[in-house]
Amino acid sequence: MQTEKSKAPHQTSAWVTKQLTLAVDCAIVGLTCVLLFLWYGFGAWTMGLGTFVGIPLLLLAVLLYISAVVTDLKTRGAL
């Protein structure tokens, strides 16, 4: 009974979970692109991959994360 009570406030909606999963995936791919550029330095392809693919993906991940947090807080009535 106590376990159910303690679990109840932590239920997240499927939409929030989806957003978080997508944010995590975008962040992993974005960070990998950025890491490749930072490690190998300036090259035509590494710079393009890092700056024009990696950074937009990281910004998308951050936006998705913020959106998920806001949605979650609104669902719980905290906002």
Nearer to another protein, 31 or 71 (CB): 31
- Report d(CA 61, CA 30) in Å as an integer: 8
Q: Residues interacting with another protein, by CB under 8 A?
A: 10, 12, 20-21, 23-24, 27-28, 30-32, 34-35, 37-45, 47-48, 50-51, 54-55, 58-59, 61-62, 64-66
46 neighbors 36 (Cβ within 8 angstroms): yes
Strands (E) across 1-79 are located at: none
23 neighbors 64 (Cβ within 8 angstroms): yes
61 neighbors 27 (Cβ within 8 angstroms): yes
Query: Whole-number minimum distance, CB 37 to another protein, in Å?
Result: 7
Query: Whole-number minimum distance, CB 48 to another protein, in Å?
Result: 6
Nearer to another protein, 1 or 8 (CB): 8
